[in-house]
Homo-oligomer: A and B are copies of this chain.
């Protein structure tokens, strides 16, 4: 059972002390060539694998970071995860991925486990606005980077996108294309991102000299395709159908689109649609989707870099707040009908 092989066995076989084996592993330069070769040979022969928990216990630092997101089945978050993994990988770290499913309870359970693992840091898109979980984590000595959420609280780094501007971009575009009767499909307004996108949308209306309350808001329970279909049906059922829809993310937009296509509503002829995130599938949709792009992979990468940087030099660390600008990608779904 080679799993039982420890540094001690290697030392015995190589005829050196365990301290020397440790040096071969961690500071190969201080050990003589001859010795190093013997030790490496012994490691090879025994199939020795370093026990990371022992290392971690002694040094106090883990080689992993946690990533807590609401939902990995959302391609936006997989892209973020990829970015985070890229950066972590470069630093020889692993990523522990956790889904909170928008449940505070699940989130807290995950955070507890991550704290027990003594992870190097945590990247999190918190379930709700309350800075509570962040504070608890910091109290436990874990450094935290808020993902896709600008930290109002000053005690953590954050990497985010200016969603308010994103909302404004979307509405400005729809207005410019000549759409007048606008509505927004959004997930729970308890989610900060949704609120901000809505605020941005209203900003645009105000700037255009229109009544921000003229924007109808269709709020659904989740931010996935199924909820999008639900929203689509509600829009269909309503009186006075809007001629353009801004959806708080692409999954919602795809759901709405599906319902519209099925119901024979021409998009963008009778109804223009703008999504948010610009996931890969937006371009491949029934009608290629206009969307507000977030640099998701960079978001994840930057966040991971921040969290790794913070714990490496906690003394002189000052919290950064990185805000990426969103960008409108125009495709078929929002064109003016001619």
Residues of B within 8 A of A62 (CB): 53
- Asked if B284 and A47 make an inter-chain contact with CB atoms under 8 angstroms apart, the answer reads no
- Is the CB–CB distance between B117 and A52 below 8 Å? yes
Partner of A1, one of B79, B141, B283: B141
CB proximity of A166 to chain B, nearest CB, Å: 22
Contacts of A97 in B (CB 8 A): 81, 85, 95-97
Q: Is the CB of A49 within 8 A of B140?
A: yes
Q: Choose from B94, B117, B284, B288 the contact partner of A113 (Cβ within 8 Å).
A: B94
B141 contacts A2, C-beta separation under 8 Å: yes
- Also in contact, A82 and B75, with CB within 8 A (given A2-B140, A285-B284): no
Say if the beta carbon of A98 comes within 8 Å of chain B. yes
CA distance A93 to B49 in the complex (A): 22
Contacts of A1 in B (CB 8 A): 141
The verdict on A94 contacting B99 (CB below 8 Å), with A72-B78, A73-B75, A73-B79 known, is: no
Q: Does A270 contact B (CB under 8 A)?
A: no
CB <8 Å contact, A254 and B284: yes
CA distance A102 to B161 in the complex (A): 31
Say yes or no: A82-B78 contact (C-beta < 8 A), given A3-B141, A141-B2, A281-B281.
Answer: no
User: Are the CB atoms of A116 and B51 closer together than 8 Å?
Assistant: yes
- Does A50 sit at the interface, judged by CB under 8 A? yes
Q: Is A263 an interface residue (CB 8 A)?
A: no
- State whether the Cβ of A174 lies closer than 8 Å to any Cβ in chain B: no
Pick the residue among B51, B81, B99 that contacts A82 (CB under 8 A): B99
A75 to chain B, nearest CB (A): 7
A141→B81 CA distance, assembly (Å): 29
Nearest B residue (CB) for A56: B53
Number of A positions contacting B (CB below 8 A): 55
Residues in chain B near residue A95, CB distance under 8 A: 96-97
Nearest chain B CB to A231's CB is how many angstroms away?
A: 14
Q: How far is the CA of A85 from the CA of B53 in the complex (A)?
A: 22
How far, in whole Å, are A118 and B2 apart by their CA atoms in the complex?
A: 12
Residues of B close to A98: CB separation below 8 A: 85, 94
Name which residue of chain B comes closest to A280, CB basis: B225
Q: Does the CB pair A96–B96 fall under 8 Å?
A: yes
Give chain B residues whose Cβ lies under 8 Å from the Cβ of A116: 49-52
A50, B96: Cα distance in complex, Å: 18
A257: Cβ under 8 A from any B Cβ: yes
In the bound complex, what is the Cα–Cα distance between A57 and B57 (angstroms)? Answer: 8
Taking CB atoms, residues of chain B closer than 8 Å to A283 are 258
A90: shortest Cβ distance to chain B, in Å? 12
Minimum distance in angstroms from A160 CB to a CB of chain B? 21
Q: Are A115 and B225 interface neighbours, CB within 8 A?
A: no
CA distance A158 to B95 in the complex (A): 25
Contact yes or no, B49 A57, CB < 8 A:
no
Report the Cα distance A336→B254, complex, angstroms: 26
As a 0/1 sequence over residues 164 to 184 of chain A, the CB contacts with chain B under 8 angstroms (1 = contact) are: 000000000000000000000
Q: How far is the CA of A113 from the CA of B53 in the complex (A)?
A: 12
Q: Judging by beta carbons under 8 Å apart, are B284 and A118 in contact?
A: no
Q: List 11 A-B contacts (CB under 8 A).
A: A2-B140, A3-B141, A49-B116, A52-B53, A53-B57, A63-B113, A72-B81, A73-B75, A81-B97, A258-B283, A284-B285
